[in-house]
Structure 1
Amino acid sequence: MNRSIFKRLKITFLSAVVMLSASCAMTTEEYNAAVVETLVNAQGNIVATGYAVISVQPHDNPAQQRLLSIRASKLDAYRSLMEQVYGQYLDVNTTVGQLVLESDTFRARVQGVIYGAYLVSITPVGDDTYEVTMSLDRGIVSDLRTLYLEQMTSHSGA
């Protein structure tokens, strides 16, 4: 699947998710602009946001729980950056018996290296969540993809 089709599918999927949660007063153009804005900033860099809940962090000290939540939300943002750079590997199994769906399982995995990402913001959301936003320069994204494709080519030829 070429990159432009994948990008259109991703934007369509994100559009559907946002549209389901957005108000009906928003026009399609406004909605599409909002979706694209959340993935790419004004300089063309990839932007990703991660979230983590404070109260579930494994520590008795509230200050330490907050720090752990910030760390977890930063890792979630890195995961989101990796998904945007490398895509996701999906493993799907569907079992049908007597024309009836018996089971349907999905497993998703993302793997890669991210370097050069910078922290845009750390924001408390509500009373029990942190949001971390990170950005990755489009030049670095291009380098990462090139390195990844070279690595995949060298492994397949060995």
Structure 2
Amino acid sequence: MPLTTLKPQVETILSNSKNTVDDRLLAVCELLEAQVPYYNWVGFYFKNGDKNELKLGPYVGAPTDHTIIPFGKGICGQVAVSNKNFVVPDVTAQDNYIACSITVKAEIVIPIFVNGENIGQIDIDSNTPDPFTEADERFLEFVCAKVSEIL
């Protein structure tokens, strides 16, 4: 299924102001994990107040010990500093990778900007080697832009 077919569902979930922001973010995670076969862990990390660290927000997938990630550490921590997308086709080739599970083969992290400031990110792990394409990047940028509108 083309990722673009999920855009209306993402917009519907995020525009439902009857639900809390966390409930809407969790629903987006559930949608992406259920509809994209190679999205095995989907979650959001957000800047933890004034600290130079990320705090885990809503997610679906295996539990993780990585509820706090210092800026610069791991893929997520690097995106918090670089403000750029990070696509990792093979996590074993990354020196600064924080292993969440031995089954994870690839990761994609896309920052979320509010008023030009990087306030968080969507993080997706895949148990499939090198699954992410430019289509994933563009789609997840769309998701992050829509998420930024409700934060």
Both proteins in one fold, TM over 0.5:
no
TM-score w.r.t. the length of structure 1 is: 0.30
Q: What's the TM-score, normalizing by structure 2? A: 0.31
Query: Which one has a larger percent helix, Structure 1 or Structure 2?
Result: 1
